[in-house]
A and B are shown apart, each in its own frame.
Chain A
Amino acid sequence: MPFKAPSPSGPPEASLVSPLPFLAEPGAGGLAAALEGPGCCAVEPGVDDEIALAEVTAARAAGGMALAVTAHQAIGSDLAFVFTSALARRLGLAAERTDAIATALQEALANAVMHGSLEMSGFSRESTDAFLHFSETATARLADPAFGGRAVVVAARWTAADIEIAVLDRGRGYLSEDLASRPWREASGRGLTIIADLADQVSFSARGSRIAMRFHR
């Protein structure tokens, strides 16, 4: 079912900058169509977080690609693969580079949703009961607008030499200030290690709520 996009507020001449386009359809197909559109960016209806929208606006101004969606949409629509596929088509990336970007982006998005939006720790290997509790909590929080409705942004911009992909969530941050600011290769967490291995440069801000990954083209 298509989204019902809100009506634009105010007369068109009220702003010199055209409004960000809304995502017309949920799911992987809708995300792909938005990225193939002339603006190469879109916002899921209902996502109105100013910082998230600013991230999309900045990427658009730089001629890049960006999507702002809910955490629920991000995890349920193969966002990492849809976004990476569109980026690869746009920039003519080699398969190996595309594979590395998709893998790193999936890790960043999983962190943004699980740790950032849902405010959950990763599941422990302590027991199957602990995993079942994790699974039930994740399902419940994704369905809860207070968690699953939080904005998640993926934004890309590029030069002839590099591609930078940022992932932003609107949770409270899940890295300590120390870890977010110091070299973190030794950080615990398999996902961060994978990102560190695949990206040529990684930086965090806002206690991990924003990660920027740079890849050589």
Chain B
Amino acid sequence: MDIREDKSGDTTTYRLGGRFTFADHAAFRTILGAVGGGGARQVVLDLGQLEFIDSAGMGMLLLGNDTAAKAGVALVLKGAQGQVQRLFVGQKFSAVFRIED
């Protein structure tokens, strides 16, 4: 998975690309640090270029959401499409996350 960071005001955006799977646990630590109170009040995960996610990737997103809630940070999932969007719907992610098109 590719991760690109963009900071603007009190919002940090991470643009995720490629495939987000079990193999990306180490890379996800960067995002976990940001949503855990790294300075931003809002963290946006832009998933528009993400081609694929597996259950481990979804588990990491859920952990990120829990961590953000504890730190008072708003986490937004944006732009999911294709296989990623289909799994989000199947796993009822809209009930847990703030999701934007």
Q: How far is the CB of A95 from chain B (nearest CB, A)?
A: 10
User: For residue B35, which residue of chain A has the nearest CB?
Assistant: A128
Q: Is B39 an interface residue (CB 8 A)?
A: no
When the two chains form the complex, which single residue of A122, A132, A139, A197 contacts B56, counting CB atoms closer than 8 Å?
A: A122
User: For residue B25, which residue of chain A has the nearest CB?
Assistant: A135
Contacts A81-B19, A106-B54 known; A190 to B59 CB distance under 8 Å?
yes
Q: Which of B5-13, B42-50, B60-68 contacts A (4 or more CB under 8 A)?
A: B60-68
Residues of B close to A123: CB separation below 8 A: 25, 59-60, 63
Q: Are A128 and B22 in contact (CB under 8 A)?
A: no
Q: Are B52 and A138 in contact (CB under 8 A)?
A: no
Q: Is B58 an interface residue (CB 8 A)?
A: yes
User: For residue A75, which residue of chain B has the nearest CB?
Assistant: B23
Residues of B close to A135: CB separation below 8 A: 25-26, 28-29
Q: Are A110 and B62 in contact (CB under 8 A)?
A: no
Q: How far is the CB of A115 from chain B (nearest CB, A)?
A: 11
User: For residue A124, which residue of chain B has the nearest CB?
Assistant: B63
Contacts A123-B59, A128-B36, A135-B26 known; A78 to B54 CB distance under 8 Å?
no
User: For residue A114, which residue of chain B has the nearest CB?
Assistant: B22
Q: Is B32 an interface residue (CB 8 A)?
A: yes
Q: Are B52 and A102 in contact (CB under 8 A)?
A: yes
When the two chains form the complex, which single residue of B22, B29, B32 contacts A75, counting CB atoms closer than 8 Å?
A: B22
Which residues of chain A in 63-110 are interfacial with respect to chain B, using CB atoms and an 8 Å cutoff? 75-76, 78, 81, 99, 102-103, 106-107, 110
Residues of B close to A102: CB separation below 8 A: 52
Q: Report the Cα distance A99→B85, complex, angstroms.
A: 13
Interface residue ranges, B against A (CB under 8 Å):
19, 21-23, 25-26, 28-29, 32, 36, 52, 54-56, 58-60, 62-63, 66-67, 82-83, 87, 90-91
Known: A81-B19, A102-B52, A110-B55. 10 other contacts (CB 8 A): A99-B83, A114-B56, A122-B59, A125-B63, A131-B63, A132-B29, A190-B55, A191-B54, A194-B55, A194-B90
Interface residue ranges, A against B (CB under 8 Å):
75-76, 78, 81, 99, 102-103, 106-107, 110, 113-114, 122-123, 125, 128, 131-132, 134-135, 138-139, 189-191, 194, 197
